[in-house]
A and B are shown apart, each in its own frame.
Chain A
Amino acid sequence: MGLIYDKEKCTGCMLCPKVCNFGAIEKDGDKVKFDLDKCVLCGSCEEICPEDAIGIERKTVDKEKIAEYKDVWVWCETAEGKLRGVAFELVTKARELADKLGENVIAVLIGHEVEHLAEFLIHQGADRVLLVDDKIFADYTTDAYTIAMVTLIAPRKPSIVLYGATNNGRDLAPRVAARMALGLTADCTGLDIDDERQLVQTRPAFGGNIMAEILCPYTRPQMATVRPNVFKPSDRDTSCTGDIEKVEVKIGANQVRTRVLEHVKEVVEGMKSVEEADIVVCSGRGIKDPSNLTLPQELADLLNAAVGGSRPIVDAGWLPPTQQVGQSGRTISPSLYFALGISGAIQHCSGMSSSEIIIAINKDPEAPIFEIADFGIVGDIFEVVPAIIEEIKKLQSDR
């Protein structure tokens, strides 16, 4: 085992037995002793020890060890008692990966009063839901959620763990990865299984100029965060069955070192999230004046789409920060993206280049946005967009 205990340094403060979720540590005189049969090397004791008396020696895993890891897991994020859309997308993708591997899909549901959500995940294709439900998980906190994930992962040994690349997913996954000394690939836009049963993780880099295929050959589980909206969720099948396993994870209040004092919502009433919308209508400098934003809004309403803005529009305060698309805002992958009066600087493109269909309308024929557009129109948005609205209305009334 890779647990190193320095008895000399230990002051017998007895914090570590309290945080061990596997009952592997007990008092031994004025020190502690470890039951290495129970220990799963999750690192909770190492984390809490104020004296650095406990260390986990992490070694690369060999092929035989790797074969012990099975099943595809998805961390299913909730917000205000609902599952985030990306959870359904990832369970669908996990189903496809698990079928290739001949393994199960396990949905991890952590929260407070979230049990009723488990059946949605089963209908989406999960074979089992691991449910961790407690008051302490009512708000997302890095510490509580990390402990829960590590406590679930360490003894159950999944081969793959996927997280939505939301703000919380990108906060949690690296923390879990660092605690367990695992590889982690950020913001994937493609996932597949190769001939050696490894997870092939594809992600854009350098502002979408280049794609990289990343592997995690030595350690398990293989972990990735995945951009919302890249994978489409399958239709839910209410005839699907699966188990719900409730797992108790005990966490002391002092183990959660951040306190959420307040949630502030900046989502403007009636304004759809650019991350969750299937269609996004995004405006740039070309919109000229905030009063002109009624035009993209009209197009968006017609298509049940979200309105977004490039950085200059948001910096000017014409749209709230939640609607900003690009490197310093949101990274999105809708199925249809309209770039209205956006030149297409790389900082913007890196936030939307993985959209399925990109439509660009810009006066400047040299605007870089045309290089990545599937359909570009060189023209004045104030002439072209109203014409598009007319055409769509016509199409909709014909149906």
Chain B
Amino acid sequence: MKIIVPVKQVPEVAEVKVNEETGTLIRDGVPSILNPFDEYAVEEAIKLRDHYGGEVVVMTMGPPQAKEALWKALAMGGDRAIHLTDRIFAGADTWATAYTLARQIKKMEYDLVICGKQAIDGDTAQVGPEIAELLGIPQICYVRHLEIDEDGKHVIAHRETDDGYDVIKAKMPVLLTATKGLNEPRLPNIMGIMKAKKKPLEEIDAATLGVPEDDLGLKGSPTTVRKVFPPERKSGGIKLQDVDAKEAARQLVEFLAKKGAI
């Protein structure tokens, strides 16, 4: 079974702070990690390969340092990696990102493409389905349980819905997006980490990919960010401390009643 896992390197969002004066993000000193939802995707791919044989190719589009996310995925057990890296790719929105990744995937053979449901920095959940469309294959999003049918040709997946889950069957090749519950991603062991840097890692630039510049990065993006600003600070948020529970409750309910909230 040939499985491709597109991943993203993201900042550890929990450690991102906001500069109160400028309203911009302070990203200095914030560690970069493999997107946690992508770990479910990598884990599932490795499990399938170990059971059915085949190959797990992890890939990413990003600056040179994004290699670290690929190494993590290789350390977990991926077989080889592809790094789409070129300044021309910078500034890509979800469409341009999906387009770039899909152009590379189209050159490869695969039975499954597994993505994380979303990246924790942007939280869009759009790149997976957009890749599926650009590849012309079906998608099953928010998968939290996966089986391969006895015939070896179909997947049966539990897709999270707003009220529970749907059991969905589709013929491979298919793109899946992984969510919490699919598996418990393994921690790479020392052996894995040592081996990772010896595994094949291919770098591909825009020219090699063979896509005109106009379709890539910022130029290829249909959306533009006009403005970034801090969320409205709660003006004068009330915080009661060392107040008796009854009195605190009374003040709270008065506050809510005034606001018309209850």
- Is B7 in contact with chain A by the CB < 8 A criterion? no
Between-chain CB contacts (< 8 Å), 21 pairs? A47-B133, A168-B161, A174-B126, A183-B221, A200-B226, A209-B25, A210-B23, A210-B24, A210-B228, A211-B230, A213-B225, A216-B222, A257-B170, A261-B167, A266-B163, A279-B262, A375-B240, A375-B255, A375-B256, A378-B241, A378-B242
| Across-interface contacts of A350 in B (CB, < 8 A) | 13, 123
Please measure, in the bound complex, the distance between the C-alpha atom of A170 and the C-alpha atom of B165, giving whole angstroms.
15
In the complex, number of A-B residue pairs with CB atoms less than 8 Å apart: 278
- Is A15 in contact with chain B by the CB < 8 A criterion? no
**Set B17, B129, B169, B249: member contacting A390, Cβ < 8 A:** B249
**Set B131, B162, B224, B255: member contacting A214, Cβ < 8 A:** B224
| Across-interface contacts of B128 in A (CB, < 8 A) | 174
Report whether B124 and A186 are in contact in the complex, using a CB–CB cutoff of 8 Å: yes
Report whether A387 and B248 are in contact in the complex, using a CB–CB cutoff of 8 Å: yes
Per the 8 Å Cβ criterion, residues 236-280 of A in contact with B are 257-267, 273, 275, 279
Report whether A206 and B126 are in contact in the complex, using a CB–CB cutoff of 8 Å: no
A167-B161, A383-B245 given; A376·B167 CB < 8 A: no
Closest beta carbon of chain B to A62's beta carbon, Å: 14
Q: Which residues of A contact B (CB under 8 A)?
A: 46-47, 60, 79, 84, 139, 142-143, 146, 166-168, 170-171, 173-175, 177-179, 181-187, 200, 204-219, 257-267, 273, 275, 279, 303, 321-322, 327-329, 331, 335-336, 345-347, 350, 353, 356-359, 365, 370-380, 383-384, 387-388, 390-392, 395
Closest beta carbon of chain A to B177's beta carbon, Å: 9
Please measure, in the bound complex, the distance between the C-alpha atom of A357 and the C-alpha atom of B131, giving whole angstroms.
38
Please measure, in the bound complex, the distance between the C-alpha atom of A267 and the C-alpha atom of B77, giving whole angstroms.
37
Please measure, in the bound complex, the distance between the C-alpha atom of A336 and the C-alpha atom of B253, giving whole angstroms.
12
- 14 A-B pairs besides A167-B160, A217-B224, A265-B163 with CB distance below 8 A are A47-B136, A60-B222, A142-B129, A174-B126, A178-B133, A185-B223, A210-B229, A210-B230, A259-B168, A264-B167, A322-B163, A377-B240, A387-B248, A391-B252
Interface size, B (range): 35 or more
Q: Which residues of B contact A (CB under 8 A)?
A: 11, 13-14, 16-18, 23-25, 37, 93-95, 98, 120-134, 136-142, 156, 158-171, 174, 179-181, 221-231, 234, 237-243, 245-246, 248-250, 252-253, 255-257, 259, 261-262
A212-B225, A258-B140 given; A267·B163 CB < 8 A: yes
**Set A187, A264, A328, A377: member contacting B165, Cβ < 8 A:** A264
A168-B162, A177-B95, A213-B225 given; A353·B231 CB < 8 A: yes
Closest beta carbon of chain A to B219's beta carbon, Å: 10
| Across-interface contacts of A214 in B (CB, < 8 A) | 223-226
Please measure, in the bound complex, the distance between the C-alpha atom of A260 and the C-alpha atom of B167, giving whole angstroms.
6
**Set B25, B133, B134, B240: member contacting A210, Cβ < 8 A:** B25
Report whether B262 and A395 are in contact in the complex, using a CB–CB cutoff of 8 Å: yes
Report whether A142 and B138 are in contact in the complex, using a CB–CB cutoff of 8 Å: yes
| Across-interface contacts of A175 in B (CB, < 8 A) | 129-130, 132-133, 139
| Across-interface contacts of A327 in B (CB, < 8 A) | 120, 123
A327-B123, A388-B253 given; A264·B222 CB < 8 A: no
Closest to B27 in A: A206
- The A interface is mostly helix, strand or loop, or mixed, namely mixed
Closest to B155 in A: A258
Closest to A173 in B: B126
Please measure, in the bound complex, the distance between the C-alpha atom of A183 and the C-alpha atom of B128, giving whole angstroms.
15
**Set B129, B137, B231: member contacting A204, Cβ < 8 A:** B231
Report whether B238 and A374 are in contact in the complex, using a CB–CB cutoff of 8 Å: yes
**Set B130, B166, B227: member contacting A178, Cβ < 8 A:** B130
| Across-interface contacts of A84 in B (CB, < 8 A) | 162
**Set A219, A258, A371: member contacting B222, Cβ < 8 A:** A219
**Set B126, B221, B228, B262: member contacting A392, Cβ < 8 A:** B262
Closest to A217 in B: B224
Closest to B261 in A: A336
